[in-house]
Structure 1
């Protein structure tokens, strides 16, 4: 049981070296395909545009879904609980989804346009 070979533990604190003490060359890195980072004011402008789009989307969704109970309250419902009018089913089960898809598509389009478009001009910065 004691004849097993246990590898020696090594503490790594820096770059590896060859046996003669010279550092091992690092492999060449491929160029980064991402664009160069933008200036901080441009990033702030992008973040504010993205935040504005998110807040508009949230407001639209809250308004759309918040008006459903109001519309249900306005609809004349018969006293019989076993019979639910077709308008209620259409209002709850069909009507919100095209609007949700349209709002979602608008938000994705806006976010992609914000990301791909040129940064907002920064006062005092040369192009």
Structure 2
């Protein structure tokens, strides 16, 4: 019995170079609105970025204003400083923040989508 021929191993890191010569050059993608942006026409993008930043800062401020006083409220609960934690503290910690977080998140997502829709014309 003779030794079987073993195929030569190759390391593949990408397309063969011969395929690249036959491919057409890549085209620039058109913006979602369908109209081509002029070369210095970045005002809509800056406006969108400002509006998104304003929405993010507003959401952060609302969350800080609503959940920030939570440690003070926990300190005011009778027995909150001791190690035996009353059920009211667990309700404040386990239940109260979640509706606030869900409402703030839902508002932010709606606001961000509306901002993008205003810029793209959708």
Indicate the TM-score class for this superposition, using the shorter chain for normalisation.
0.5 to 0.7
Structure 2: tracts of 5 or more residues without a match: 1-6, 11-16
Q: What TM-score results when the alignment is normalised by the length of structure 2?
A: 0.65
Inter-partner Cα distance in structure 2 for 1:79 and 1:25: 71
Aligned residue pairs total: 106
Q: 1:115 to 1:37 in 2, by over 3 A?
A: farther
Inter-partner Cα distance in structure 1 for 2:66 and 2:50: 24
Structure 1: tracts of 5 or more residues without a match: 17-23, 120-127
Secondary structure of 1:117 counterpart: helix
Q: 1:40 to 1:94 in 2, by over 3 A?
A: same
Inter-partner Cα distance in structure 1 for 2:8 and 2:80: 85
Q: 1:62 to 1:37 in 2, by over 3 A?
A: farther
Give the superposition deviation at 1:5.
Answer: 7.6
Q: 1:99 to 1:79 in 2, by over 3 A?
A: closer
Q: 1:70 to 1:42 in 2, by over 3 A?
A: same
Q: Which residue in 2 is equivalent to 1:59? A: 61
User: Which entry has the higher C-alpha Rg, 1 or 2?
Assistant: 1
Matches within 5 A, 1:70-89: 70-77=72-79, 81-82=83-84, 84-89=85-90
Q: Which residue in 2 is equivalent to 1:113? A: 114
TM-align CA RMSD: 3.8
Give the superposition deviation at 1:80.
Answer: 6.0
Matches within 5 A, 1:1-40: 16=21, 24=22, 26=24, 34-35=32-33, 36=35, 38=37, 39-40=41-42
Q: What TM-score results when the alignment is normalised by the length of structure 1?
A: 0.62
Structure 1 consecutive aligned stretches of length 4 or more whose deviation exceeds 4 Å: 4-7
Structure 1 residues 50-108: Cα deviation after superposition (integer angstroms, max 9, x where no partner): 000011111222233321101111222278633x2221111110010001000000000
